[in-house]
Amino acid sequence: MDFGETVKCIAQFCMFGKDELLHFAYQIFDADDNGWISHEEFILLLSDLHPSTNRGRTTRALREIDLLDDGKLEYWEYLELNRRFPNLFYPVVEAQDKMRQKFFGNKHWHRKLKKYQKIKAGIRRARKNNTDKMMEAENRGKRRLQKRERRLAEARAKAQATKSTLKKTILNAQIWALKVEGRWDKGGKKKIKAKKVGAL
């Protein structure tokens, strides 16, 4: 690992939130990314996090938890374990805090995190706005289609009911124009507006 990669890893670790830290610790021992860690891997994780002179909480936790019949600990169980025994994985948070102090200090990282959270919030708002706009455009298209279908049905009914050849011809032209408008709309091209024909 060269200097640039080392700095990048340190920066990424220092920018982790609490949930990301927990996931990071879990992934270290779920190396094959199968979504669970074995009993042996879990014991190894706790041994790395807690020195041999301070394993009282770890021993108590191991007595109280059930590692399931299959000997596997899935990620949601790992999170539940952290909820029940918050001190069990606290050394991960502590390691991050010490690294932040060694590299630029806590104030620097808190400023970075605040800016990062602001950017994330802006991205979420932008995505929501884009989704809202897309839904609005889709609803407008549906309303336009429904309106055109109503006009088409009315024109057909009038064409069938009228006895005037001239009026029937004009109504058939209107029907044709509405059909063309629909085809152009579906193709995403400029809409052809049918001229309104007044009653004769």
CA proximity to 78, closest of 38, 116, 138? 38
**Going from the N-terminus, what domains does the chain have, and what CATH number goes with each?**
3-103 (1.10.238.10)
pLDDT at 52: 63
**pTM: predicted TM-score of the whole model, two decimal places:** 0.51
pLDDT at 191 over 80: no
CA angle 92–24–101, rounded 5-degree value: 45
Displacement of CA 2 from its chain's centroid (Å): 33
Share of residues in the chain with pLDDT > 90 (%): 0
Using 50, 70 and 90 to split pLDDT, how confident is the model at 67? low
Q: Which residue has the tokens 């191991």?
A: 62
Using 50, 70 and 90 to split pLDDT, how confident is the model at 34? confident
Q: What tens digit of pLDDT does each residue of 90-115 get?
A: 888 888 888 889 888 888 888 888 88
| Beta-carbon count within 10 A of 165 CB | 8
**Mean pLDDT across 33-41:** 78
pLDDT at 74: 83
Q: What tens digit of pLDDT does each residue of 109-136 get?
A: 888 888 888 888 888 888 888 887 888 8
Using 50, 70 and 90 to split pLDDT, how confident is the model at 66? low
pLDDT at 76 over 80: yes
